[in-house]
């Protein structure tokens, strides 16, 4: 349980939430936005984070959107992962999500909470990186939309007081061929080693990674090498690995060498399967 | 907005069909309030980290780990703890199939199974496996728990409440 005198607020509008943030900030109360809250409660219990006030955004209706809007589909930041899985509008997101934590925990973990979390896996962001999604963010200057490539660099680059309202995907991406593979060191429920997600669009493969580096990422350089069909698969993979961002993780879940070994085999498996898909 | 005071606030919680008035701090977890304010000790503290599932309860018929949920988040919802199940088929099935040994994890498993059967009265094996991966049993009664679930699905075990 969190320690200390922490205040709790549940605004019902985006503006109220942002205003409350800056009021609390002015009072030096270290406010934090809260959706599912699983990470805040677990990291708070371990004394790793120390919020003075939490602003629960789950009552804000825009954060609960799950609907079509013109050429896009909207995922509200407060939607629990299991809700998204049950509706299964975006199968790549469903499959990626189903590998996160466990079913009961995913009743509480929200899509916004996962992609904005401190814990570095943040696998739910991979489908959004692959599909050039749009991010709706609230802040002091109102609501703004950003292409995800402009605002996600290892983590979401939010300004103080900003929070994620929605993630939008162009509908053309919802049903593309895909594979998402999560490898664990042991069993089916162990901590993740690496997750790789891949889609095929206009005969090109796109890849996004989690658990390989201390941040999730999609890399143009890596994709260019993996799509160089003039070379044999093994060579393409070798060249792609040379383009990986650094550092490659080397921790208790797996050494750097082991992660790269697993990555190499996973990429080969994915390329073989995806290049056959129409 | 709720009372912004960091000190104790008075809230009404709908627990097992009864409205209970309780003084809580906004940061109290639901597990803490159930056990320490309401003497409902069926939900067990295990990892306190959202991993083991011993503290599972239902909120609006969805299963949650009460160690990673604030009590204040459950205001206005219907909370069901293992004490709220009386002679339910899944409880009887656990007894009939010896689906426990030490019993510490049992209330959490039962609440997860109850929520599973409410949502999927005829679950596939894959669905059962996925849901059960949320709870840990150190005595490794997993096989018996699966048998208990499928005995309810197949109508081999009855009870007086759903």
In angstroms, rounded to a whole number, what is the distance separating the alpha carbons of residues B30 and B69? 6
Contact yes or no for A9 and B4 at CB 8 A: yes
pLDDT > 60? residue A218 = yes
Q: What is the pLDDT of residues B14-70, one digit of tens each?
A: 999 999 999 999 999 999 999 999 999 999 999 999 999 999 999 999 999 999 999
Please report whether residue B3 resides in a domain.
no
> How many separate domains does chain B show?
2
First to last CA, chain B: 35
A65 and A156: one domain? yes
Q: Which of B81, B102, B128 is the last residue of a domain?
A: B81
Mean pLDDT of all residues in chain A? Answer: 95
Please report whether residue A2 resides in a domain.
no
B66 and B119: one domain? no
B13 and B46: one domain? yes
CATH code of the domain covering residue A227: 3.30.390.50
A191 and A159: one domain? no
pLDDT at residue B6, as a whole number: 52
A71 and A153: one domain? yes
Structural domain including B89 reads 85-153
pLDDT > 60? residue A152 = yes
A144 and A206: one domain? no
Please report whether residue A158 resides in a domain.
yes
B131 and B148: one domain? yes
pLDDT at residue B160, as a whole number: 66
Q: Which of B81, B105, B126 is the last residue of a domain?
A: B81
CATH code of the domain covering residue A145: 3.30.465.10
Q: Which of A173, A208, A223 is the last residue of a domain?
A: A173
B149 contacts in A (CB within 8 Å)? none
- Percent of chain A surpassing pLDDT 90: 92
B120 and B73: one domain? no
A110 and A162: one domain? yes
Q: What is the pLDDT of residues A57-79, one digit of tens each?
A: 999 999 999 999 999 999 999 99
- Percent of chain A surpassing pLDDT 70: 99
**Residue in B closest to A189 by C-alpha:** B133
B105 and B44: one domain? no
Residue among A6, A41, A102 minimizing CB distance to B133: A102
CA dist A265 → A92, A175, A233 (Å): 21, 26, 11
> How many separate domains does chain A show?
3
Please report whether residue B159 resides in a domain.
no
The alpha carbon of residue A231 is apart from the nearest alpha carbon of chain B, in Å, by 40
Mean pLDDT of A253-268: 95
A82 and A164: one domain? yes
Choose between B1 and A107: higher pLDDT.
A107
The alpha carbon of residue A21 is apart from the nearest alpha carbon of chain B, in Å, by 13
Mean pLDDT of A223-246: 97
Structural domain including A12 reads 7-56
pLDDT > 70? residue A187 = yes
pLDDT at residue B3, as a whole number: 39
Q: Which of B81, B115, B133 is the last residue of a domain?
A: B81
A191 and A96: one domain? no
Among residues A174, A167, A126, A147, the alpha carbon closest in space to that of A270 is found at A126
Find the farthest-apart pair of alpha carbons in chain A and give their distance in angstroms, rounded.
62
Q: What is the pLDDT of residues A24-48, one digit of tens each?
A: 999 999 999 999 999 999 999 999 9
Calculate the dihedral angle through the C-alpha atoms of B60, B63, B65, B68, rounding to the nearest 10 degrees: -50
In angstroms, rounded to a whole number, what is the distance separating the alpha carbons of residues A237 and A243? 10
Mean pLDDT of B90-102: 96
Q: Which of A156, A173, A190 is the last residue of a domain?
A: A173
**Residue in B closest to A38 by C-alpha:** B68
Mean pLDDT of all residues in chain B? Answer: 93
Contact yes or no for A10 and B2 at CB 8 A: yes
A162 and A65: one domain? yes
In angstroms, rounded to a whole number, what is the distance separating the alpha carbons of residues A231 and A203? 16
B6 contacts in A (CB within 8 Å)? 5-7
Mean pLDDT of B126-136: 96
Residues in CB range of A51: below 8 A, 6 or more apart: A2, A6, A30, A31, A32, A40, A44
């Amino acid at each position: 349980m969190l320690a200390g005198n922490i205040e709790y607020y549940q605004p019902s509008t985006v503006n109220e939430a942002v205003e409350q943030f800056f009021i609390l900030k002015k009072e030096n109360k270290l406010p934090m936005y809260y959706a599912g809250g699983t990470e805040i409660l677990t990291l708070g219990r371990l004394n790793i984070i120390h919020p003075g006030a939490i602003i629960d955004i789950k009552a804000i209706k825009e954060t609960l959107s799950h609907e079509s809007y013109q050429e896009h589909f909207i995922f509200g930041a407060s939607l629990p992962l299991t809700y998204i899985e049950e509706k299964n509008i975006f199968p790549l997101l469903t499959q990626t999500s189903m590998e996160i934590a466990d079913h009961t925990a995913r009743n509480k973990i929200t899509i916004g909470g996962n992609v904005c979390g401190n814990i570095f896996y943040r696998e739910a962001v991979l489908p959004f990186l692959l599909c050039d999604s749009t991010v709706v963010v609230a802040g002091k200057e109102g609501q703004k939309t950003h292409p995800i490539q402009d605002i996600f660099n290892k983590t979401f680059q939010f300004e103080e007081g900003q929070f994620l309202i929605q993630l939008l995907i162009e509908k053309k991406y919802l049903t593309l061929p895909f594979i998402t593979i999560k490898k664990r060191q042991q069993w089916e429920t162990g901590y993740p080693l690496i997750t790789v997600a891949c889609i095929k669009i206009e005969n090109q493969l796109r890849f996004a990674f989690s658990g390989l580096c201390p941040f999730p990422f999609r890399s143009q350089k890596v994709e260019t090498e993996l799509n160089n069909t003039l070379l044999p698969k093994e060579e393409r993979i070798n060249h792609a690995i040379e383009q990986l961002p650094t550092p490659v993780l080397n921790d208790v879940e797996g050494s750097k060498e082991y992660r790269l070994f697993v990555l190499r085999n996973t990429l080969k498996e994915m390329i073989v399967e995806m290049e056959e898909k129409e | 907005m709720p009372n912004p005071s960091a000190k104790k606030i008075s809230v009404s919680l709908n627990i097992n069909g009864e409205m209970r008035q309780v003084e809580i701090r906004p940061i109290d977890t639901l597990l803490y309030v159930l056990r320490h304010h309401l003497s409902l000790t069926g939900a067990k503290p295990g990892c306190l980290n959202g991993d083991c599932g011993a503290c599972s309860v239902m909120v609006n018929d969805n299963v949650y780990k009460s160690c990673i949920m604030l009590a204040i988040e459950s205001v206005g919802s219907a909370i069901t703890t293992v004490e709220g199940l009386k002679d339910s088929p899944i409880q009887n099935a656990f007894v009939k199939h010896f689906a426990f040994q030490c019993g510490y994890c049992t209330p959490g498993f039962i609440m997860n199974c109850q929520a599973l059967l409410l949502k999927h009265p005829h679950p596939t094996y894959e669905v059962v496996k996925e849901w059960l991966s949320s709870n840990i049993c150190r005595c490794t009664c997993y096989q018996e728990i699966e048998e208990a679930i499928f005995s309810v699905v197949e109508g081999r075990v009855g009870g007086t409440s759903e």
